[in-house]
Amino acid sequence: MSFKKLAVLAGVAALTLSGCAAAADDTASEATSSTEETTAAATTEELKDIKICVYTHGDGGTFWSVAQMGAEDAGKDLGITVDYQGSINDSAKQASTIDAGIAAGCNGIAASAPDAGAIEQAMLAVSAAGIPTVTMNSGSDVFKDLGAFTHVGQDEIVAGREAGYKFNDAGMTNILCPIQEAANSGLTDRCAGARETSTGTVSDFNLDGGLADLTAASAKIKAALEADPTIDAVFALNADIAAKAVLPAVQDLGRDIMIGTVDMSEDALNAIAAGDIAFAIDQQQYAQGYMSVVLLYLNVTNAHSLGGGLPIYTGPGFVDASNVAQVQALVAAGSR
């Protein structure tokens, strides 16, 4: 028998045996735990059977890994199973994942909705199957249309408004707003919110793809700042953009420009501590992940539908020189 054929047969045999072993393992543990079953409270096995699924459009970067950690920590704290999937900005993939959640045995599904129309059919199918849903991170104004009972996140317009106030307090008159992900309406909303409350002008600036090449992004921002010497503030919409693209550009030019950003990273917080960046808006995405799971857990186990038909806000929280020290330790640990 040729080596190739032998290898194939061996592979199939090994995998079948391991599959049987895994299945046998499950039935064995179920048998032992059922004998220890208490009458009223849910046993560890029954809890583990509760599966909450968090299906986002996230890309696994510094922002989304914190949200994922939040969701998974909630799972550990409650003793239930959590399945997190990020579709890396692919709406078709996210829709398919949500659709597949029904057969995957999800008892509750949380989904981010940057493009509500894309996942509408999937979300409605999930609701039709009797599975409760919430939206998180994006979709605060569409969650009802998607059949969700609430939304957990930060309203981007509200965040932008608050940032606008901060810039007013410092007397800023011409604010540049670089948008690093052209397809993300949440980002445009932040700039729009700032425009509403700012007493000066807020100009959107196209920095699409900025996160993929921070050096190039920095050069573009420098060029924009040079082109308009009256710009006195930059409202960055991402911590990496702020710390690694905007800050170097501003330092290069040597002008006195106020930098505010959305979301946090170790570098951005260090810059705040050093006085180079004025503030970071914290949408507390750890809590977005954590609370999505808790809200669905409470719905599944005790029929609670929290929120009162309105979104539940996790932000904007502000991190500036006054509270940066506390937060820094947590960001370094990956949980903020």
One residue of 43, 89, 197, 301 binding another protein per CB under 8 A: 89
- 177 near 207, Cβ under 8 Å? no
Give the E-state strand segments of the chain in sequence order. 51-56, 81-86, 108-111, 133-136, 151-153, 174-179, 201-206, 233-235, 258-262, 279-282, 312-313, 317-320
Distance separating alpha carbons of residues 334 and 63, to the nearest angstrom: 10
Closest CA to 53 of 285, 334, 300: 300
326 scored as a contact of another protein (CB under 8 A) = no
The whole-angstrom separation of Cα 299 and Cα 311 is: 16
* 86 binds another protein, rule: CB under 8 A: yes
Binding residue for another protein (CB under 8 A) from 19, 171, 229, 334?
19
Judged by CB under 8 A, the residue of 74, 80, 95, 259 near another protein is 95
Site string for another protein, 207-246 (x = CB under 8 A): -x--------------------------------------
Which tokens sit at 228? 């308009």
Contact 184, 89 (CB under 8 A): no
Q: Is 31 in the site for another protein (CB under 8 A)?
A: no
Q: Which stretch binds another protein (CB under 8 A): 179-187, 244-252, 273-281, 295-303?
A: 179-187
Q: Is 334 in the site for another protein (CB under 8 A)?
A: no
Angle subtended by helix axes 185-197 and 156-169, to nearest 10: 40
Residues 99-118 that bind another protein (CB under 8 A): 99-100, 102-105, 115, 117-118
Q: Do residues 244 and 141 touch, judged by C-beta distance below 8 A?
A: no
Rule CB under 8 A: is residue 8 a binding residue for another protein? Answer: yes
81 vs 168, beta carbon nearer another protein? 81
Size of the site for another protein (CB under 8 A): 45
Q: Which of 28, 170, 182, 274 lies at the binding interface for another protein (CB under 8 A)?
A: 182
37 vs 35: CA distance, rounded Å: 6
The separation between CA 111 and the C-alpha centre of its own chain, rounded to angstroms, equals 10
Q: What is the spatial distance between Cα 319 and Cα 330, in angstroms, rounded to a whole number?
A: 13
Is residue 305 close enough to count as binding another protein by CB under 8 A? Answer: no
Q: Which of 33, 43, 96, 305 binds another protein (CB under 8 A)?
A: 96
Residue from 29, 34, 44, 121 touching another protein (CB under 8 A): that is 121
Contacts with another protein, residue ranges (CB under 8 A) = 2, 4-5, 8, 11-12, 15-16, 18-20, 22-23, 60, 81, 83-86, 89-93, 95-97, 99-100, 102-105, 115, 117-121, 125, 182-183, 185, 188, 208
